[in-house]
Chains A and B, each alone.
Chain A
Amino acid sequence: MSQYEPVIGLEVHVQLKTKSKLFCGCSTEFGAEPNQNTCPVCLGLPGSLPVLNKTALDLAIKVGLALESGISKRIKFDRKNYFYPDLPKAYQISQYDMPVCHNGHLIIEVRKNGDELTQKKIRMNRAHLEEDAGKLLHEGIQDGSWVDYNRAGIPLLEVVSEPDLCSPEEAFEYLVRLKAIFQYLNVSDCNMEEGSLRCDANISVREKGDTRLGTKVEIKNMNSFRAVQKALAFEFERQVAVLEKRERLVQETRLWNEARGETLSMRSKEFAHDYRYFPEPDLVPFSVPAAHIAELKASLPELPRARYERFRPQYGLSAYDAHVLVSEKALADYFEACVNKGVSPKLASNWIQSELLGELNQRKLKLSESRVTPHALAGLIRLIEQETISGKIAKEVLPLMFETGQSAEAIVEAKGWVQVTDTTLLEEVAERVIRANPKPADDVRAGKKQAVGFLVGQVMKETKGKANPKLINEILERKLKALR
């Protein structure tokens, strides 16, 4: 298997965040009653004419600029013809040879030889605007399918990469980085469950070192980034197995079946993909003035890569931590809001990545739904920094903050969890523990340093975990010498 390598290209469809559809004034709101967000234009009724939504074009250009691509001087729309009931017009208005954006790229991090992260440039071939199709429902419907055209005509941007991805992991990484850019630009909700972000993959295999491309297979029907990764891993092995049997691969479209964990052939007919593109006569061509492109460029927010470059020196974070934090805009925003309250960036990064995300995961909540605000988490971290509570107690405080919505201070106060720093009290406990455990005490005196851990544990137990560990160590050391 190791003498083969996969060659992967991805087509990502992202639903652009506009109020109205791409070519008509119908609402793009999700979850409306079936077929209510429709009009003669998106239902393809005779005599209706499409008119381009200016905001959709601006959002597409913003994505292009963020991917450092060229914006075409001449932009034109074309009809892609095919018969399927999700298209009321029997064609989709898309773009063929004059897309909005061309020749961009995206930098991803790949792991080479173990843990080291290196950068890799993934080229983008093009990004074009097109209208979404309607939704078909098949399940549980007798002798037919139902069609809902609310989605028909919603603006999509299709971002097509070059076949520069060399593993399913790289494909996953590319999708994470691309989604982060969409989120930072605020051009889409990026909600995969609602279908506002979809991905099809093209994969072929070849012998390592070969520069020619093998037979390409398109995979569809993946509903998460992990599913894309799994489908590509499966497809790579399937294609290698075919080649090793000295059989020929067929150029085809296959559907990922999540439940079975495999791709299945769609058995498409030979002519099925002759789309007979031709220029859309109902839309005039477009050209974007350079001044408007410059205006859009100036309006771009700080993008993930720039934020990453800023986070590392500004907060002294590791490459890994900085990457995890910037990969989701909401996460990076949360982190910065927390740090702005004056707590240590390193502690904030650790607490957000392990404890906070852990709690949210367990409660099946998104970061935006977190009851614990950045301000509240900073309050908890400050208690640790001031040694009012230990990290161990803090881990018990956080779930209570989620349950009650109270501040860390209030919970620690009410529970009486303030760390014991009363030396007299701790000295009493230490003496008791040493007397009750003569054997470990002697071991420590004899130089077995590890035995002190047991004694610290006993003191912790007596103080119900509230003793300051640094103080216990000091006091135990002193008392062990004194009590011989």
Chain B
Amino acid sequence: MSDKVNIDQIAELARLNLKPEERLALSKDLDEILAYVDQLQELNTDQVEPTSHPLALENVFRQDSVAKCDVGDRVLEHAPKREEKYFKVPKVIEGQS
């Protein structure tokens, strides 16, 4: 088992229930990914601007105007649970889970 990756913590944050064999396989995958990143880290990037987006685009805006969509009711119809005009979810009060 990897010493770099705490697979149980990652699974908990992602709300995943992993089977033992999945746990091993994913652990191995993540180790390989990290090893690849380590390799990238060796490159000198002092002269390279950081990139946060693959496209050479910036400043894509929309103007502030309302466009009515009217999908609310149709989305509600597809919700697993609903009551009146609300989506219904299991009771979750932050801090009491």
Once the chains are docked, how many angstroms separate the CA of A230 from the CA of B85?
37
Once the chains are docked, how many angstroms separate the CA of A136 from the CA of B52?
33
Q: B85 — which chain A residues lie within 8 A by C-beta?
A: 33-36, 148
Given A20-B67, A26-B69, A84-B94, decide whether A35 and B62 contact each other with a Cβ distance below 8 A. Answer: no
The answer to whether A18 touches B64 (Cβ under 8 A) is yes
A interface footprint on B55-97 (CB within 8 Å = 1, 0 otherwise) = 1011111111111110111011000010111111111111111
Given A84-B92, A268-B95, decide whether A40 and B71 contact each other with a Cβ distance below 8 A. Answer: yes
Is B13 part of the contact surface with A, judged by Cβ < 8 Å?
A: yes
Is B12 part of the contact surface with A, judged by Cβ < 8 Å?
A: yes
Is A365 part of the contact surface with B, judged by Cβ < 8 Å?
A: no
Is A191 part of the contact surface with B, judged by Cβ < 8 Å?
A: no
Once the chains are docked, how many angstroms separate the CA of A212 from the CA of B13?
32
Once the chains are docked, how many angstroms separate the CA of A95 from the CA of B97?
27
Within 8 A of B (CB), among A23-58: 24-27, 33-40, 43, 45, 51-57
Is B44 part of the contact surface with A, judged by Cβ < 8 Å?
A: no
The answer to whether A26 touches B66 (Cβ under 8 A) is yes
The answer to whether B66 touches A52 (Cβ under 8 A) is no
Residues of B contacting A: mostly:
loop
Is A225 part of the contact surface with B, judged by Cβ < 8 Å?
A: no
Given A276-B13, A279-B53, A284-B57, decide whether A38 and B72 contact each other with a Cβ distance below 8 A. Answer: yes
Is A432 part of the contact surface with B, judged by Cβ < 8 Å?
A: no
Once the chains are docked, how many angstroms separate the CA of A276 from the CA of B9?
12
The answer to whether B55 touches A284 (Cβ under 8 A) is yes
Given A266-B94, A279-B53, A287-B59, decide whether A144 and B84 contact each other with a Cβ distance below 8 A. Answer: no
The answer to whether B94 touches A25 (Cβ under 8 A) is no
The answer to whether A20 touches B65 (Cβ under 8 A) is yes
Is A414 part of the contact surface with B, judged by Cβ < 8 Å?
A: no
Is A316 part of the contact surface with B, judged by Cβ < 8 Å?
A: no
Is A145 part of the contact surface with B, judged by Cβ < 8 Å?
A: yes
Is A143 part of the contact surface with B, judged by Cβ < 8 Å?
A: yes
For A38, the closest partner residue in chain B by CB is B72
Is B19 part of the contact surface with A, judged by Cβ < 8 Å?
A: no
The answer to whether A85 touches B89 (Cβ under 8 A) is yes
Once the chains are docked, how many angstroms separate the CA of A267 from the CA of B75?
34
Given A83-B15, A286-B58, decide whether A143 and B91 contact each other with a Cβ distance below 8 A. Answer: yes
CB distance from A43 to the nearest CB of B (A): 6
The answer to whether A148 touches B91 (Cβ under 8 A) is no
Once the chains are docked, how many angstroms separate the CA of A43 from the CA of B23?
32
Is A448 part of the contact surface with B, judged by Cβ < 8 Å?
A: no
Instruction: List the interface of chain A (C-beta within 8 A of B).
Output: 18-20, 24-27, 33-40, 43, 45, 51-57, 76, 81, 83-85, 136-138, 141, 143-149, 253, 255, 265-269, 271, 274, 276, 279, 281, 283-287
Given contacts A39-B71, A52-B62, could you give 18 more A-B pairs where the C-beta distance is less than 8 Å? Answer: A19-B66, A20-B65, A24-B69, A36-B72, A51-B60, A51-B61, A54-B61, A141-B83, A143-B91, A144-B83, A144-B88, A145-B89, A145-B92, A147-B86, A267-B95, A267-B96, A284-B57, A284-B59
16 CB-based A-B contacts, threshold 8 Å:
A19-B65, A35-B72, A35-B75, A36-B73, A38-B72, A54-B63, A83-B15, A84-B92, A85-B87, A146-B83, A266-B94, A271-B12, A281-B54, A284-B57, A284-B58, A286-B58
